[in-house]
Structure formats: C-alpha cells, structure tokens
Amino acid sequence: MAQTNSKSTPSFAPQLSVPATYMRGGTSKGTFFKLSDLPERCQVAGQARDNFLLRVIGSPDPYGKQIDGLGNGSSSTSKTVILSNSDKSDHDVNYLFGQVNIAKPMIDWAGNCGNLTAAVGACAINMGLVDADKINNSINDNADSGICEVRIWQENIGKTIIAHVPVYLDEKNKVQVQETGDFELDGVTFPAAEVKIEFIDPVDATSDMFPTSNLVDDFDVSGCGLTTDSVKATFISAGIPTIFLKAVDLGFTGTELQGNINSDGELLAKLETIRAKGGVAMGLFKDVSEAQTSQHIPKVAWVGAAQSYTASSGKSVDAGEIDLVVRAMSMGQLHHAMMGTAAVAIAAAATTQGTLVNEAAGGQKFDEVRFGHPSGTLLVGGKTEQVDGRWQAKKVSMSRSARRIMVGEVFVPADAF
C-alpha cells in the first residue's frame, strides 16, 4: 500500500509572544505594553484587545487566583497598561489603563489607576517613548543625577498628569531611571526611589467636582441593610468618582483591615448595594443594575476621626501622626492600602471645607493631610477653589514609588483573541 507524506493540521493553537514589562507602581502591579508591540488587531479598542489582555492576566478565573496568567487574584494586581507616543501637544506619552475583572470576562476602561501612574513615566522612558534630548537635559552639567518631568496624557479620563522621575548617569555616562532608593511607602515591603506625581485639573472646567452640587447630601440607603434609611454622604468626582460616608453610619470605626471586611459576604453585598445606589445619585448610572458592568467606578469609602490602630503589617499607627482614617473598597474588596485615584479624591475633599472628609480631619482649612489606611499612612496635598459657583480641584499631589520587576515577553495562545 502506498504511503503518503501529508501532515494533519495541528489540533492546537501555537503560542504568540509579545514584549511586555511587569512593574510595581505604588501599591499595585500591572503588565505594561507599548501599543506598537501589540498584535495589530489588538492595537485598537475592541473585543480582540480585551480578550488578549484577559488571557495575559489569567481571567476570567472562577477559582479567583489567575494561576494561568500574570494576575495574582487581587484588584491591585489585575491590571494592564498600554503606552504610546502622545499626539497631544506638550505631552510625552499616552497612558491607557484597563482594570481586569478576576472572575468575569470584563475589562473596565472607565477610570485611571493612580498607583500605576507612578510607573508610567519610568516605563515610558525605558520603552523609548520620551524624547532622548529631554531625558539627557534633565541632568544639569557637573551633576550626576536629576529629575525628568514626564508629562502624561491619561486617556481614560482625558487628564494631564506629571511624573517627576528620578534619573542618574551610569558608568557609561548614559541617563538611566533611578528605581532603588530609601523612600518608604506603606503597603510596599521594600524602599525605592520617590516619584512625585501631580494630577493637573483633575476635574473638568465645565463640571462641578461635587456632581450633586452639594458638599454633603442626605443619601437614601433604604434597602441597603443599614439601621437607617438615610445617611450623610459626600459625592465627589476628582481622581475617580467616590462616595464618602461616615464610618460610624456603616457600623464601622474606620480602622478596619481586609480580614474584617473581605470574608463577610453579607457585608460585601451591603457595600455593593450602597455603591450602586451612590452611582445613581452621582448620575453615573440610570439604574442600580448598571453597576454590575461598571465595577471600577464609583468607589465607596468611609472616614473617621484620627485614632490609633495597628496596620496590617503589625506597625502601630498613632492618632497623633494622622489627620483622619479612611478605608476604601476596590472591585468589591477592601483595598489593602489606598488606591491612588481614591487618594486624589481624598485630597480634594479634605482640602475643601464642609465635606465629610474635611470634617473628619477636624474641619479646618488644609493644604495637605495625612490619612491612615489599612497598611499605614499617606500624605496628600490639594488645592481646590470655586469658579463660577462650581468647585474645582486645580492640582492634587502625592509621592509614590515604582520598580521594574520583569522585562521580556508574555506568551498568549493564538486562539485566545
């Protein structure tokens, strides 16, 4: 019998490799891509791009661990970033953020990640997206270090962010990003170089920072499982839309740690119902059901007066070193520290007299506040003012740190997207 040399078509899909950088930014981690490195069909918004990024991170995962991807089973690490040359004048890089849902096939593109913002400037420099002359000129003659000011266009929210990235001259006289240092950030185990971040005009000039036009509202929480049908709330849209409540109105102290919240399914359901109703009150949703497809915004946070507590690391936080305590939910879980975008909201609200956040800090006029969170403390600054009857945040600032963990290639099955 004659034999043929024909080969059968493989029944499996090969893996494709794509250049990627895995970075920590603030108290988050994410996978960073240069837009031009992505497969062509993933360079534009759409299902192919979402499916590709979902597979990179390892979602959806019914086990909640993202074992088959680069995520680590928490909202702080289930993140992707796409960087590209900016087409905006006076900007160096475009920054697009995607919050990947762990259990569902969803990516939320509605907001920014303030923590990963700290890594954008450094990553953009290392990816060659920042003009070489600008980088070289950031170090003065006869100096061996300096600060490179990277102007970032945050595409999700259409805002300018400035990252002050430390740089130095290496032994070959080439400018490099400084990543190690002695700056300590609560929620991060090891010290690193400080990166100062400025959020410029985080509120649209034509919008009110307080979407209801009130510093404090009577918020209808009927059906949310609380002991009352109405509580005081500050609704703010700065950094990220956030609902601030008094800790005591939720039956909390403001010193809760993740173990107190995240293992209580009934409590999480109450907080999610409050978040959905708050989204309607802020005009983000027409109906509470829409919250299911927008888990990134709004955030729910609660505040209380300064008080001593033990942080998740075992570190003692003394009431005398902070102005107030704040806890915030992220993607259905109490955040282990504080989201960077929520820190922007805290700064804007705390520096506006009359909000619940300002009242928790003592009610006086502030230019900056230090708040306590589950991992420790954070200092944030802000400047707010009324323009034509509307409250505006002109600038909010904070210090974070960032570090490359891995630079290489990520592998994705070709049939995944």
Which amino acids are annotated catalytic?
A: 113, 339
What six digits make up the tokens of 260? 């107190």
- Given a contact cutoff of 8 angstroms between Cβ atoms, the answer to whether 93 and 128 are in contact is no
- Sorted by sequence, the CB contacts under 8 Å of residue 86 that are 6+ apart come out as 92, 93, 94, 151, 153
- Sorted by sequence, the CB contacts under 8 Å of residue 117 that are 6+ apart come out as 25, 26, 95, 152, 154, 161, 163, 197, 340, 400
What six digits make up the tokens of 364? 């006086």
- How far is it, in rounded angstroms, from Cα 337 to Cα 293? 24
Residue 60: asked if its preceding bond is cis (omega within 30°), the reply is yes
What CA–CA distances, in Å, run from 3 to 7, 9, 10? 12, 18, 20
Four-point Cα dihedral 244, 355, 281, 371, nearest 10: -20
DSSP letters along 4-54, please?
Answer: ----PPPSSPPEEEEEEEEEEETTEEEEEEEGGGS-GGGSSSSHHHHHHHH
- The residue ranges of DSSP E strands in 212-277, in sequence order, are 217-220, 230-238, 240-246
- How far is it, in rounded angstroms, from Cα 235 to Cα 252? 19
End-to-end CA distance of the chain: 43
